[in-house]
Amino acid sequence: MPERGNADQRFLLLYGSQKGLAQSLSQDIQEQAEQRGLYAERHCLSRTSRAFELAHERAPVVIVVSTTGDGEPPDTATKFVRSIQRKGLPPNHFCHLRYTLLALGDSNYTNFCNCGRTIDQHLAKLGGHRFYPTGHCDDAVGVEEIAEPWIEGLWEVLKKELGGRQWTQANENTMTTGRDPVVRSEGCIGMVKESEFTVTNTDAVSNMSSTCHIKGGGKTAPVLMEADKTLEAFIERSVRPDKAAVGTCEALEPSPSQKPKDAASFSQGEEHGSMSSGDDKLITVLSMSCRNLSITSSSETKSHSSPANSQPPSAWTRPAPHLSNVALNVPSLPASFLEIDIQRNTHFDDFRVESMVDLLPKASSSIHWIPVVSAKRLTQLDAIKTTMELWLDVSKTSLNLSPGDSVGLICPNNSEEVSYLLQRLELEAVADCLLTVHLTNANTRKGVQIPVHILSQCSLRMLFTHILEIRAVPKKAFLRSLAEHAEDPTERHRLLELCSRQGAADYLQHIRKSLVCLADLLHSFPTLCPPVALLLEHLPCLQARSYSISSSPLQHHGHVRILFNIVEFPTSVYRASPRRGVCTGWLTELVGLYVRGDVTLTSSMDDATAVASKVPQVPLYARPSTSFHLPEDRSRPVIMVGPGTGLAPFLGFLQHRKWQQDEEAEPAGEMWLFYGCRHCKQDYLYRDELEAHMASGVLTRLLVAFSRDNVHPSGAAAGRPTRYVQDNLRIYSKDVVRMLLQQRGYFYICGEARNMAPSVHETLVEIVVQEQSGTKLEAMRTLATMKKEGRYLQDIWT
């Protein structure tokens, strides 16, 4: 074990995590360092100036940091980021510092990896030397796609930074393969070619001035380099990550048949088509070097039936022909570190949602149980999506919410799914017994702890119902561990394929894009039976879901309105039965709308308190927005773009302004709303309310685009089709530029992050180019400035 004090072996490893992913990656790095005889001194970024001090750090520094919200640092990194942004730091403040950075983000959001970029930019600006290119991991395509090759490539470069003295030939081999010899032999299946193990990034990383290529998954994936520091490139990336910049996507680009429709066709929240299943031909015979297992064609495989699954397995669960003669590089098997004790004689069902409060992101209040006083379906029965409205009675609380804020709803997992898991894992008999979790005595993983979300006292049913995100898409490390618990060698082999570097495309198609979860795996791999402790090690914490408030407390004191689409996942080769989103499914059941239809729980809102005890209640907390609010200066023009349920906060804005207009008679600037839905007659939300705001003069312009109706009058009048909000923005480009640039107005976007928000941004760039006769770069710079000034605001979600 390397000693802390040995300067040849020590490096500083810092992490800033919101949901635990950056922390877990830093743990992986620490473990891999240890296997290589290095000492990674690991700290959370929140411990700045207590546990570590970059201003005096001479050892190489590795930082793993995520980005949260719309480009903000995780809560734990805020202080650190502020500390390096302080004005007055000399330009050579970090000239002694050698660092590298693994940034985590989601390219569905505009400020992709913004926290990592900000840290990187400031360290470099203050003289820091980046010794290894920054990795930008994109959660939209799979963090591991960049993280894995980035970590593998790190060791070679780190060795040079540390002086290379402790490195033996044996270590060299391990380093280039990224696995220790034992794991390597376990990890190789089929025909092993030595060259397959070598990650050939050393040449590239020594060339720090251009894009670095890391070999992975049989393809060459460019890793975004930060050497290009021009303002133009920075603005371009900070406003919207282009596909080239999010270099990792390139290697993962699906085949044309898998590609979603273009951005415009999704711009109003339309759904992706279902994925096709893989090739179902029999695999050829393979010899497997690990554990003397031999894999035979699937027709020869012993049949394992499970009470939960008597159907034949789907094609995607069988070994893939295109991987049959390929040596597989699989992640090293994570050492297990948790054990559970179940006290069979002690029943335990004392779960208190309040115990979750410390785990909630951005909570500004305690958790309150709130009566749902009214529930209504807003869309017609023949609409493609079902949109629901709930009124919540917050009058008994001190919740201080204004339009633009959201509430975090703490939802349980679906009880049938929980029962299925318990039954399938043969745990029903002990599901409600007291359970305690502790670290294994034989734990070899340094620095691991019991995950903070695992309660010290709980039961299995509680864990599966309230604590674990059982719908989480399994990461590759999880699949790797699960493979050890599939009795059937064919199933085991397939799980290894899915987590292998060579099986990256299969993982993307059959796991990530298909939103496969633990229950689906258990259903599709009948002999898979992992121990509970493994699930606790890998399943993340169940997240609260946010909903923008769509009312104003000025008009509806003590009540809050929210709207949501019921998320529906149809049956597919991956899912044995249809299911709903965790939270929207639960809410729908809770308010008695399992069968589509309107239910009004109270006849009048004023009766709310009286009937509160009889109506369903939901635990929630306030999730205030730091910026998504109406401008303080009421005279400024406001443009709101909110298709679908993106309308929610704008309804609140309009109610707020209406009340101000009636009560305070202060003149307000123009307010334009760009709204969109599929059909005028089926899913045009709050038409009456919006038209009333037009009539009262609060809303000065209402522009609605219908993506599935043939012709809309406004489009016909303008001689162009108006299918999407972007089309209307283009039609009114002169007004848009007048309000935003000449009158310094505010631009708000709310709704779907994956396609709509980036597409609206691109449209705005086009408009500014066209109306100002400038270049694209100038337009992007203009919008970046608006962002900086807090006049370009987004409230978007995937």
Structure tokens at 432: 């409600």
Task: Using CB atoms within 10 Å of the CB of residue 771, give its burial: 0 to 12 exposed, 13 to 18 middle, 19+ buried.
Answer: middle
Q: What's the per-residue H, E or C state across 470-504?
A: CCCCCCHHHHHHHHCCECCHHHHHHHHHHHCCCCH
The nearer residue to ligand FAD, 128 or 581, going by C-beta atoms, is: 581
Total residues in contact with ligand FAD, by rule CB under 6 A: 23
- Angle (nearest 5°) at CA 544 between 540 and 548: 145
Q: Which is nearer to ligand FAD, 100 or 550 (CB)?
A: 550
* Binding mask of the shown chain, residues 667 to 706, with x at each position contacting ligand FAD by CB under 6 A: ----------------------------------------
413 binds ligand FAD (CB under 6 A): no
Q: Least distance (Å) from ligand FAD to the CB of residue 413?
A: 9
565 contributes a contact to ligand FAD by CB under 6 A: yes
Query: Could you give the C-alpha distances from 682 to 303, 381, 385, in angstroms and in order?
Result: 49, 8, 10
Q: Which stretch binds ligand FAD (CB under 6 A): 373-381, 487-495, 718-726, 790-798?
A: 790-798
Instruction: Compose the 629-668 pattern: x for residues touching ligand FAD by CB under 6 A, - for all others.
Output: ----------------x--x--------------------
What value, to the nearest 5°, has the Cα angle with vertex 22 and ends 20 and 26? 115
464 touches ligand FAD (CB under 6 A)? no
For residue 722, state whether it binds ligand FAD (rule: CB under 6 A): no
Instruction: Enumerate the β-bridge partners of residue 560.
Output: 392
Nearer to ligand FAD, 406 or 502 (CB): 406
d(CA 100, CA 647): 41
Residue 580, C-beta contacts closer than 8 angstroms, at least 6 positions apart? 414, 566, 567, 568, 569, 588
Quote the CA–CA distance of 424 and 526 in Å, as a whole number: 9
**CA neighbours closer than 13 Å in the CB half-sphere of residue 150:** 31
Binding span for ligand FAD by CB under 6 A among 166-174, 343-351, 562-570, 779-787: 562-570
Query: Does 561 engage in binding with ligand FAD (CB under 6 A)?
Result: no
- Which x/- pattern, by CB under 6 A, does the window 466-495 give for ligand FAD? -----x------------------------
Instruction: Classify residue 764 as left (phi > 0), alpha (psi -120 to 50) or beta.
Output: alpha
C-alpha of 584 from chain center? 18
Nearer to ligand FAD, 530 or 624 (CB): 624
To the nearest 10 degrees (0 to 180), the angle between helices 648-664 and 687-696 is: 30
What DSSP state is assigned to residue 620? E
Q: Does 795 bind ligand FAD (CB under 6 A)?
A: yes
**Residue 18 vs 406, nearer CB to ligand FAD:** 406
Q: Does 582 bind ligand FAD (CB under 6 A)?
A: yes
Tell me if 74 contacts ligand FAD by CB under 6 A: no
Q: How far apart are CA 270 and CA 644, in angstroms?
A: 10
For the chain, the residue count is 798
Q: Are 152 and 119 in contact (CB under 8 A)?
A: no
Compute the least distance from the CB of residue 104 to ligand FAD, in Å. 16
Among 51, 353, 472, 567, binds ligand FAD (CB under 6 A): 567
Within 10 angstroms of residue 5's Cβ, the number of other Cβ atoms is 8
Q: Distance (Å, rounded) from C-alpha 140 to C-alpha 94?
A: 33
Q: In the bound complex, which residue of the shown chain has the CB atom lying closest to ligand FAD? A: 581
Which of 517, 563, 641, 690 touches ligand FAD (CB under 6 A)? 563
- Strand pairing report for 39-44 and 10-16: parallel
Q: Which one of the spans 109-117, 426-434, 580-588, 740-748 is the region binding ligand FAD (CB under 6 A)? A: 580-588
Span from 412-420, 430-438, 499-507, 575-583 in contact with ligand FAD (CB under 6 A):
575-583
Distance between CA atoms of 245 and 458, rounded to whole angstroms?
45
Q: Does 581 bind ligand FAD (CB under 6 A)?
A: yes
The answer to whether 11 contacts ligand FAD (rule: CB under 6 A) is no
Distance, CA of 500 to CA of 290 (rounded, Å): 15
Q: How far is the CB of 517 from ligand FAD (least distance, A)?
A: 9
Smallest gap from Cβ 427 to ligand FAD, in A, equals 23
Identity of the residue, 59 or 390, whose beta carbon is nearer to ligand FAD in the bound complex: 390
* x-or-dash string of contact with ligand FAD, 262-301, rule CB under 6 A: ---------xx-----------------------------
| One of 545, 575, 656, 678 touching ligand FAD (CB under 6 A) | 545
**Minimum distance, C-beta of residue 564 to ligand FAD, in the bound complex (Å):** 3
Residue 271 or 664 with smaller CB distance to ligand FAD: 271
Instruction: Using CB under 6 A, pick the residue from 46, 111, 267, 548 that binds ligand FAD.
Output: 548
Of the listed pieces 98-106, 498-506, 517-525, 539-547, which binds ligand FAD according to CB under 6 A?
A: 539-547
| Binding of ligand FAD by 583 (CB under 6 A) | yes
Tokens of 337: 């570190």
Instruction: Scan residues 109-128 and list those touching ligand FAD (CB under 6 A).
Output: none
Q: Name the minimum Å distance from CB 253 to ligand FAD.
A: 18
Q: Closest separation between CB of residue 583 and ligand FAD, Å?
A: 3
Q: For residue 46, count other CB atoms closer than 10 A to its CB.
A: 18
**3-state SS string over 213-271?**
EEEECCEEEEECCCCCCCHHHHHHHHHCCCCCCCCHHHHHCCCCCCCCCCHHHHCCCCC
Tell whether the torsion through CA atoms of 588, 589, 591 and 592 is positive or negative: positive
List of residues contacting ligand FAD (CB under 6 A) = 271-272, 406, 471, 515, 545-548, 563-565, 567, 581-585, 645, 648, 795, 797-798
